[in-house]
Amino acid sequence: MVTLKGKQIYLRALEPEDLDFLYQLENNTAVWEISGTVTPYSRNVLQLYLDNAHRDIYDVKQLRLVVCDLNDKPLGLIDLFDFDPINKRAGIGIIISQKQDRDKGTGASAIRLLCNYAFEALELRQVYANILEENSRSVHLFQKLGFEQVGVKTDWIRSNGTYKNEILFQKINN
């Protein structure tokens, strides 16, 4: 049986009461570079998103889950995106909202739980992650979790007038 609960955290579906958390996180300009966001989100747009968050991954090709501590405090978001059931793959992305909640195993636990779900429940063959080359903490995290670097996308992300490389990591379920 697939579980979405670890020793320190659990993953859950988005709920209507997540609007303020989502609004704060999605409008944090410090994370726009990794999310591809270029304009702020209104509460109304995010409410519409929450209203449709129940839609099936096979329909919308994405699954967004909230990373929570065992006291039900939302810590971040983790996504499966570009879900491809034909080729049995999906991208994975994660953000832990507050700096004080990072470097405590939260991200590693969330990624392990989501990978197990992807491989067992969705029967995916592989998951991948796109990480900025300069993001050494994320590079180390994904390598530690068994993701292999399979390529570098040169000058892939434009940020503040300069271009940055993005590394493609892949984990194949053997």
What are the structural domains, with CATH classification, of the chain?
Answer: 9-124 (3.40.630.30)
- Residue range 36-73, pLDDT digits in tens: 777 888 989 889 888 888 889 999 999 999 999 999 99
What is the bridge-based pairing of β-strands 63-69 and 89-96? unpaired
What is the per-residue pLDDT for 30?
Answer: 80
Q: How far apart are CA 79 and CA 26, in angstroms?
A: 14
- Alpha-carbon distance values, 13 to 10, 67, 87 (Å): 10, 9, 25
Helix (H) or strand (E) holding 126: strand 126-132
How does DSSP classify residue 55?
Answer: S
Residue 36 neighbours by CB under 8 Å, 6+ apart: none
Of 109, 114, 134, the C-alpha closest to 124 is 114
- Residue range 105-164, pLDDT digits in tens: 999 999 999 999 999 999 999 999 999 999 999 999 999 999 999 999 999 998 888 999
